[in-house]
Structure 1
Amino acid sequence: GQRLGAPSTVLRGIPKGVTHNGGRIAFGPDGMLYIGTGETGDRGLAQDRKSLAGKILRVNPDGTPARGNPDPDSPVWSWGHRNVQ
């Protein structure tokens, strides 16, 4: 049978807070990994394009930014979200 391998981190830098942590992850039909993050209760982070909080992130399965993202060097697909589910 098949077994799962050891877990590995594919993306670092997603902040956490007491509230609004988001946390849903799923592969899309394009094969990219989509990650919903909350703004951790700090609304300003959702608009801060350098923060990964309050965003929908779109990355390759290895965690690198996906081709076609608004900023080719960033995993951010969309921003300004309070608590993506």
Structure 2
Amino acid sequence: MKFILNTFIFCLFASSFSAQTTITLDNHFEDWNLAPSWSDDGVGNINKAAITHDIDWVYFYIRTTNEVALDENTLPNSIRLVIDFDN
């Protein structure tokens, strides 16, 4: 299952390079309607993920089941987001 999920996320990321969408950071998420996305209604912490880019930026959208804090001491969670861009 983990392999299938990782493969799907890779394909989603790869397909996002063909669709350029500028995202405005304004707490309104309508911009994400045009971006390729992945949704899951099953069990787990991540319900939806999307990746898009414009000429200057890469944008990530992740919707979780529960509130997640960046500081695990404040709100313990099991989510790890690791992004590695070489060059």
* Fold in common (TM above 0.5): no
Structure with bigger helix share is: 2
User: In terms of Rg, which structure is larger?
Assistant: 2
Ranked by relative contact order (alpha carbons within 8 Å, sequence separation 6 or more), the top structure is: 1
